[in-house]
Amino acid sequence: MDGDLQAIRDELAIRNLIARLARLADTCPIEDLERDYLPLFTADAVWEIPGDRRSGHAAILSGAQERRRAGAQGPGAHSRHIVTTVEVHVDGSDTATAESYLVVVGDTDATPTVRMTAQYRDTFRRDGGTWRVAERLVTFG
């Protein structure tokens, strides 16, 4: 029973981590990324979209800053990252995986439109008792 309860706790923590990442993509100001967004990743994390692979905190932070400067996300971008169809796999170890769908909605201040759809393939690692993203692979479409 204790193992089942721990698996439920782990899955809920991972689901909340996925949701927090999506919310921060839309709401976290550029000056708060290092404090609020970056700690959600392991120090050696990989964040990859087609044509852009980022490894480690400095590179992941740089990518998030670039997306904000380009107006692609963050406060004032009028976008929402909607994560759905989340499937989490925990096995009692300090690693877990999840697959989920992403819908990015733009123009949320006027007539919302779908900007893109994607799939996340995430690997998580328990680091200091806290679940963090160790790898996020993004596939468009």
pLDDT digits (tens, 9 = 90+) for 33-64: 999 999 999 999 999 999 999 999 999 999 99
Q: What's the domain count of the chain? A: 1
Contact 79, 106 (CB under 8 A): yes
**Averaged pLDDT of the chain:** 96
CA distance 21 to 137: 14
SS3 60: helix
Report the CATH number at residue 129: 3.10.450.50
State the residue range of the domain holding 46: 2-140
Three-state DSSP state, 80: strand
pTM assigned to the model: 0.96
